[in-house]
Chains A and B, each alone.
Chain A
């Protein structure tokens, strides 16, 4: 069983991934309340794009971490 890591430094990819996903939540939540056509056209694609960026950043950071530990 693996033991908890002592390092508390958050990898950059995870930090920016979390920021992107959190912003995406806000954009998409805003799109639920601002029901104007122009706002929806801007907020919806931007929210989805931010989610994708966040997921990719997190995935890359997790991949790098696993590789540096020799798990891949």
Chain B
């Protein structure tokens, strides 16, 4: 995609040069089409393709980790294969390793991506204002829908004993009155208090089947 953008930019700049340098021929046949191509068609194509490339990059862990305050969270992705929850998902390849943050933190809804980009912009502004230097909190409680998007249809998830202990379990989970993470059923998403600094030394007894697939 980057090479397509570079080629389009080169073409666009060359056309602009022709249109501005050879302006004396503006009454010639085909001139209007050339001007339209130089000022509209190629720029629009270029904007769309470069936006696509940039938005694709924004989904990567590398991008999220480019802000200093996120380094600890990115580090906690590779803590251990049975805790915390983010690490379970990444180390066991339950989510794409390159887009792990995006996979879990973007709502699976019509405007989920748009909301994520707006939140991202808010993060940058907050960071520039010096906020968010300590522990970062989510804007709203973590949505069960993001977990259920992958786990919901999974037979392994449905067969877990605790998930069948109460008749209205799934109703409460789907309604959000019982949180997968905040109700204390599953391990926390990321470690903040420096636990991950001891990466590789943990001897947790946490059951990985609870985290599901």
Chain A residues packing against B (C-beta within 8 Å): 1-10, 14-15, 17-18, 21-22, 24-25, 28-29, 31-32, 35-38, 40-41, 44, 47-48, 51, 54-55, 58-59, 62
For residue B194, CB closer than 8 A to chain A, the reply is: no
Size class of the B contact interface (CB-based, 8 Å) = 35 or more
Chain B at the A interface: mostly helix, strand, loop or mixed?
A: helix
List residues of chain A with CB within 8 A of the CB of B24. Answer: 4-8
Chain B residues packing against A (C-beta within 8 Å): 2, 5-6, 9, 12-13, 16, 19-20, 23-29, 35, 39-40, 43, 46-47, 50-51, 53-54, 57-58, 62-64, 66-67, 120-121, 124, 128
Minimal Cβ-Cβ distance residue in B for A26: B9
- A32-B43 contact in complex given A5-B24, A14-B23, A18-B20, C-beta closer than 8 Å: no
Question: Can you name 22 A-B residue pairings with CB atoms under 8 Å?
Answer: A1-B29, A2-B29, A4-B28, A5-B24, A10-B20, A18-B16, A25-B9, A25-B46, A29-B5, A32-B6, A32-B53, A35-B66, A38-B128, A41-B120, A41-B121, A41-B124, A47-B47, A48-B47, A48-B51, A55-B40, A55-B43, A59-B39
